[in-house]
Amino acid sequence: MKISVIGTGYVGLVTGATLADIGHEVMCVDVDVQKVEQMKQAISPIYEPGLGDLMARNIAAKRLNFTSDPQSGFKEAEVIYIAVGTPENEDGSANLTYIEQAAKDIADHIENDIVIVVKSTVPVGTNHKIKQLVEAAVKGRARIAVVSNPEFLKEGSAIQDTFYGDRIVIGSDDEPSARIVEAINEPFGVPVFHTDTRSAEMIKYASNAFLATKISFINEISNICELVGANVENVAAGMGMDSRIGHQFLKAGIGYGGSCFPKDTEALIQIAGNVNYEFELLKGVVNVNRKQQLLLIEKLNACVDSLAGKRVAVLGLAFKPKTDDMRQAASLLIIEELLKQGAEVVTFDPVATEKAKALLNPSIVYANSLEAAVEGSDAALIVTEWDEIKNADLNVFAGMKRPLVIDGRNCFGLEMVKSHAIEYHSIGRPAIFNATNKDFSGVKWSPEAERLVHWGLNTN
């Protein structure tokens, strides 16, 4: 089919490129002229593994094109996808400004009957509002149908998720239009779930809120594990063997970030509030995550008398590996607090450095390797579990002024750590205090050491 996609962020560009790859003629429309010119050259504006190659293949096959002109972008379209952002308002609600502009552009430029497919994450009832807005503007010159088709993509594996997803949700109150969207997606071979429009809108929010809940839950369990002498990895493994619970999203760490979970949890709380319902559980999930993102600072302060003048290496900047996305990244809060307490900050991230420079204090030093970041540092904080960090030789920390490593993503096995001369703190697991030839006179040791002795655990 001939398809137009409005918006070329993570969702829109991946959607356009993958639809082209299964044989459709796709025109991606974006208001950013410079961005459009780059994409015409198969230069992806975002870091997503495999996306550049996918774009190049389908541009060469003349199935994927880009324009900044809505009129030419919609001229031959049979179906128009809306994949624009819905950023968070100050009160936590979804900002629908871009959605409304997309609807207006469609109404202004379409000449034929059209099926509008909404990929953007929108509050319940938005699809109906889009239909009403467009119908009022076109004044009967074209038939309008709107279908909710929420995305379930994970940054860093978005292409894989498209071709091998768990399900495709199609929400519509117009069966013929729903069948058109099903036919578009049929080559993916992914199971299709049909439902009404409002339920499809809610499925997206409910899914992200539930996954965020699992993350905050295991992080709360990890904090208790540290206090009682248990190991959260063993706890999570035992829990996950129950098929009703499962292993996914039970990895303790310093919380979730990115463009989806923080925004969607807040939006769902707001949606509930709009109908006078207090979503107490989800409010707790959000509060736990906010506290968890600063846990590394708490652990660091427990190990030193003062951060003033200390050189701290922050390892990883993006909110997760395999992306350069800095939205709601824990590193932003952590670095802000380190600077506030007088520390000197040096960072390393294999991908997100350029994005980070636009957001962070000019005093930050950006190292081009893990080794350069930790050399001469008083402490190292692991914030993002990049392979370059997880697969590092732990001897790299020998070059630190004090080999103090605080791991927010549990990158290293405890047995492996015990064979290296570092002090190692992680999330929900016993700390490792290995003897070294460093001069630790006057060093403040963590209260965690006392707890380990109390529980009779080996602190080495």
Name the β-bridge partners of 115: 79, 145
Binding residues for NAD(+): 30, 35, 86, 121, 155, 263, 327
Residues in contact with 433: Cβ distance below 8 Å, sequence separation at least 6, in sequence order? 423, 445, 449, 459, 460
28, 260, 303, 411: the catalytic one is 260
Q: Is 225 a catalytic residue?
A: no
DSSP β-ladder status, 432-433 and 2-6: unpaired
Q: What is the three-class DSSP state of 179?
A: helix
Is the torsion defined by CA of 244, 248, 251, 254 positive or negative?
Answer: negative
Task: Give 117's Cβ-side CA count (13 Å radius).
Answer: 28
Long-range contacts of 176-179 (CB under 8 A, 24+ apart): 176/145, 177/115, 177/145, 177/146, 177/147, 178/147
Whether residue 396 contacts residue 413, with contact meaning beta carbons closer than 8 Å, is answered with: no
Q: Which of 217, 193, 213, 214 is nearest to 203 (CA)?
A: 193
Which amino acids are annotated as binding site, given as ranges? 30, 35, 86, 121, 152-155, 204, 249-253, 257, 263, 320, 327
**CB neighbourhood size of 46 (10 A):** 17
* Strand arrangement of the beta sheet that strand 2-6 belongs to: 64-67, 25-29, 2-6, 79-82, 114-118, 144-148, 168-171, 192-195
> What whole-number distance in Å separates Cα of residue 389 and Cα of residue 27?
39
What DSSP state is assigned to residue 148?
E
Annotated binding site for substrate: 152-155, 204, 249-253, 257, 320
Tokens 């870091």 belong to 47
Q: Is 401 exposed, middle or buried (0-12, 13-18, 19+ CB in 10 A)?
A: middle
Provide the annotated active-site residues: 260
